[in-house]
Structure 1
Amino acid sequence: MATSARPGRLPVIDLLRGLALLAMALYHLSWDLSFFRFVDWDLVDDAGWIAARYLIAGSFLALVGAGLVLWDVRGRDWRRWAIRLNKVAAGAAAVTVATWFVIPDQFIFFGILHCIAVASILGLLFLRLPPVLNFVLGLAVIALPILWRSTLFDPSWLLWTGLGTLPPRSNDYEPLFPWFGPVLLGIAAARWWLRARAPGGAVDGDIPGRPLRWAGRHSLAVYLIHQPLLIGLLLLVGMALGRDPQAMLSPPPDPAPLLIDCQVQCEQRGGGTETCHAYCGCMVDGVRAQSLWPALRPDAAPELKDRLLDLAASCSR
């Protein structure tokens, strides 16, 4: 028996938010696999991964704009808006505090939850504008930091604007420019969608994807718990494969000094330049793939030294 959609919600919006959560979880899983050195994927500089990150973050923020429109047409329940805003703000504060202790040099001070909280307030000013104007303004907000930046916005207390010239060190940085742009685009799209009387599902049973719709209804909780679960799971997998959990959680050292030192020692022992280059490249790749950085320390455990010797023998062949 179908259950009625909650007041102020449409199942299709929950489904879209659930799909965005799934895409986000897959992206974060890929990031975690790379961080723990299970894979060698370049999520920072590869154009495909960059595009995926932008599309996922943009879809979340566009849905924030659409949600504001639905809240507006359902009568503006200020109590419900305040409760949601407080939950998002509390989640943002929790992320900041947690990352401050775990990764203090790259802690999250204005990530996507911070942006959603601020956008939920600023978006109120744009709800009654014509959709075409919101669409144009949204594109302008996205384009501005591409076309113009200034050192006036470089101070740390203005980093939330996104208009400075120096990118901050943070694991999740979603400043207002350009990320308020998708919110405005979402407001415009929702207005057009409602005017066209497009179907959105009157009851839950009208729209497929029940697990995704459930996740979409509890998006904040899913967002907050999915990364700790993924990290814990990968740590267990790493331990099952014989990896040191402390080494997995430590950022990988710079391989350049190891490669240079290996090349010098190899050539001093009579190896040719090309042979030493191939051997040392194999060693660096193997150390990274097997997380054998602790084996390079003088006080390394005997089993780690044995694994390093096995790798050296394999690379010599």
Structure 2
Amino acid sequence: MPSAERPGRLPVIDLLRGLALLAMAVYHFSWDLKFFRFVDWDLAGGTGWIAARYLIAGSFLALVGLGLLLWDVQGRDWRRWAIRLNKVVFGAIAVTVATWFVIPDEFIFFGILHSIAVASVLGLLFLRLRPAVNLVLGLAVIALPIVWRSDLFDHAWLLWTGLGTVPPRSNDYEPLFPWFGPVLLGLALGRWWLRAGTPGSAVSGGATGRPLRWIGRHSLVFYLLHQPVLIGILLLVGMALGRDPQTMLSPGPDPTVQLIECQVQCEQRGGGMEQCHAYCGCMVDAVEAQSLWPALRPDAAPELKDRLRDLAAICSR
């Protein structure tokens, strides 16, 4: 569309983006409660939690596809696209650097901001495809890592693809496959929405939706700041309850996550399901009881590694 005819922001898009961000913040707050041992929820293995994570991340990335489509039909303002891309890339780098120092064993190397940055470039190739084609491609991208993976993609430089056989340790991992799929679905659904005359585009939620629309308009700032704010609040609560903040910031690994990872690796090495379950349960319980989590670090002291090997020998009997 000519510049003079470009419409303003659609309130419903800001509203939906704000809702997705709020849902993401609620999920992250649940994760923080678990990390600081305020609760004992099974975020890693609980069916409801897993479904919530996929729905929240998927809806946010679908809105990325829809936003890219609106940018296209409004005339492709490349300057605005470049400014937005630079902000997202900067945010992704900031998240990687910060988590590298705070949680080096599980730092975020390809989280949702990294995925958005890649989608903002790769999505340009799919803007003019028929919506039915993007729908099929989107479903295929989602399905591929479910039906096929290869150890060729286990190399550190290829983990961003999501097609490796061993899931990496990271607090936020949104690789190309399957997470580019929702972006393509957003392109397809957005094209059909435009052809239908954008029904509901003026929906704003009224005064109640104003905070959500504000969040939707400042999504990157909200994303970068919400976790430090939530963590700060929980640290203050913990200190008020008499807990040591240093201990809160460096708890041992989540036993549930360790058990799942051990089970996966054991079965990949050829162990039977029951055998691996017994071995991994024994190891995780013993490591937890003896506070041997530091022995799992790559730079662990030799004596800690020896104790870990002794436990492995006992649990293998």
Q: Smaller-chain TM-score range?
A: 0.7 to 0.9
Change (3 A) 1:134 1:38: same
Using the TM superposition, give the Cα deviation of residue 102 of structure 1 relative to its aligned residue in structure 2, in angstroms. Answer: 0.4
Using the TM superposition, give the Cα deviation of residue 101 of structure 1 relative to its aligned residue in structure 2, in angstroms. Answer: 0.4
Using the TM superposition, give the Cα deviation of residue 151 of structure 1 relative to its aligned residue in structure 2, in angstroms. Answer: 1.1
- In structure 2, the residue matched to 1:84 is 84
Q: Answer yes or no: is the 8 Å Cα contact 1:135–1:184 preserved in 2.
A: yes
Please show how residues 46-125 of structure 1 align to structure 2 within 5 Å.
46-125=46-125
Which has more radius of gyration?
Answer: 1
- In structure 2, the residue matched to 1:182 is 182
Please show how residues 17-36 of structure 1 align to structure 2 within 5 Å.
17-36=17-36
Using the TM superposition, give the Cα deviation of residue 198 of structure 1 relative to its aligned residue in structure 2, in angstroms. Answer: 2.9
Q: Answer yes or no: is the 8 Å Cα contact 1:10–1:200 preserved in 2.
A: no
Q: Answer yes or no: is the 8 Å Cα contact 1:138–1:180 preserved in 2.
A: yes
Distance 2:131 2:254 in 1: 50
Change (3 A) 1:165 1:203: closer
Q: Answer yes or no: is the 8 Å Cα contact 1:145–1:162 preserved in 2.
A: yes
- In structure 2, the residue matched to 1:134 is 134
Q: Percent identical across equivalent pairs? A: 81
Using the TM superposition, give the Cα deviation of residue 30 of structure 1 relative to its aligned residue in structure 2, in angstroms. Answer: 0.6
Distance 2:54 2:9 in 1: 25
- Post-superposition CA distance 1:242-288 (Å, at most 9, x none): 111111111236889xxxxxxxxxxxxxxxxxxxxxxxxxxx9xx99
Using the TM superposition, give the Cα deviation of residue 199 of structure 1 relative to its aligned residue in structure 2, in angstroms. Answer: 2.7
Q: Answer yes or no: is the 8 Å Cα contact 1:8–1:71 preserved in 2.
A: no
Distance 1:48 1:205 in 2: 28
Change (3 A) 1:91 1:254: closer
- In structure 1, the residue matched to 2:213 is 213
For structure 2, list consecutive stretches of 5 or more residues without a partner in the other structure: 1-5, 257-284, 292-317
Distance 2:19 2:254 in 1: 37
Distance 1:244 1:116 in 2: 37
- In structure 1, the residue matched to 2:159 is 159
Distance 1:229 1:28 in 2: 11
- The one-letter amino acid of 2:105's match is D
Aligned length: 255
TM-score by length of 2: 0.76
- In structure 1, the residue matched to 2:269 is none
Using the TM superposition, give the Cα deviation of residue 124 of structure 1 relative to its aligned residue in structure 2, in angstroms. Answer: 0.5
Change (3 A) 1:62 1:156: same
Per the alignment, in what secondary structure is the counterpart of residue 57 of structure 2? helix
Distance 1:109 1:150 in 2: 20
RMSD: 2.3
- In structure 2, the residue matched to 1:315 is none
Change (3 A) 1:136 1:105: same
- The one-letter amino acid of 2:162's match is G
Q: Answer yes or no: is the 8 Å Cα contact 1:11–1:200 preserved in 2.
A: no
Change (3 A) 1:205 1:109: closer
Compare 189-198 and 222-231 and name the one that shifted more. Answer: 189-198
Pair 1:251-2:251 in alignment:
yes
Distance 2:49 2:35 in 1: 15
Change (3 A) 1:39 1:88: same
- In structure 1, the residue matched to 2:314 is none
Using the TM superposition, give the Cα deviation of residue 205 of structure 1 relative to its aligned residue in structure 2, in angstroms. Answer: 8.1
- In structure 2, the residue matched to 1:266 is none
For structure 1, list consecutive stretches of 5 or more residues without a partner in the other structure: 1-5, 257-283, 294-317
Q: Answer yes or no: is the 8 Å Cα contact 2:58–2:182 preserved in 1.
A: yes
- The one-letter amino acid of 2:28's match is H
- In structure 1, the residue matched to 2:231 is 231
Distance 2:51 2:153 in 1: 26
Distance 1:116 1:237 in 2: 34
TM-score by length of 1: 0.76
- In structure 2, the residue matched to 1:10 is 10
